[in-house]
Amino acid sequence: MVIFTMILIECAQFAEYNVEKAHREVAMDKKIVFAEKAPAPIGPYNHGIIINNVLFTSAQLGLNPATGELVNSSFEAEVRQAMDNMKAILEAGGTSFDNMIKCSLTLTDLNNFAVLNKIYSEYVKEDTAPARSCVASALLKGARFQIEVVAAL
């Protein structure tokens, strides 16, 4: 019984130490990324944020950077515009598609998945491809595709 009680006390002390450690404030150098070649944000957010040499991007639609209007002549054109917008943000942050860690894709129609993959592979090399997810959901402005990325610098 004494050994069991000592183990419980040690476990409690270890847990308390880890909670303290987890709640310590960590000084982070937060940098805002704005890409001239991407559509201006349409709300209170930035194109990207860099913390600890990692770029977290806001999701991009296939908006024309000059007009802010959706490029909707075709699904392919919309995807290419969204990918170009993301490329501009990655470059403004000092990185590229080659350094992606995680990529989140959203489609409104999963029947477009094969077309998306074909275009995506024009931008992303297989040997540097990130972890990736793809979901179906409604999107703003009537868009059919969106991309969000986390990339290393």
Residue 14 lies in a domain: no
48-83: b (≥16 Cβ within 10 Å) or e: bbbeeebbbbbbbbbbeeeeeebbeeebbebbbbbb
Residue 15 lies in a domain: no
Question: The CATH number of the domain where 112 resides is what?
Answer: 3.30.1330.40
pLDDT at 28: 79
The answer to whether residue 131 is domain-embedded is: yes
pTM of the predicted protein model: 0.83
Query: Where in the sequence numbering do the catalytic residues fall?
Result: 134
pLDDT digits (tens, 9 = 90+) for 112-140: 999 999 999 999 999 999 999 999 999 99
Range of the domain at 52: 31-152
Count of domains for the chain: 1
Laid out side by side, the sheet with 145-152 consists of: 31-33, 48-51, 54-57, 145-152, 100-107, 131-136
Average pLDDT value over all residues in the chain:
89
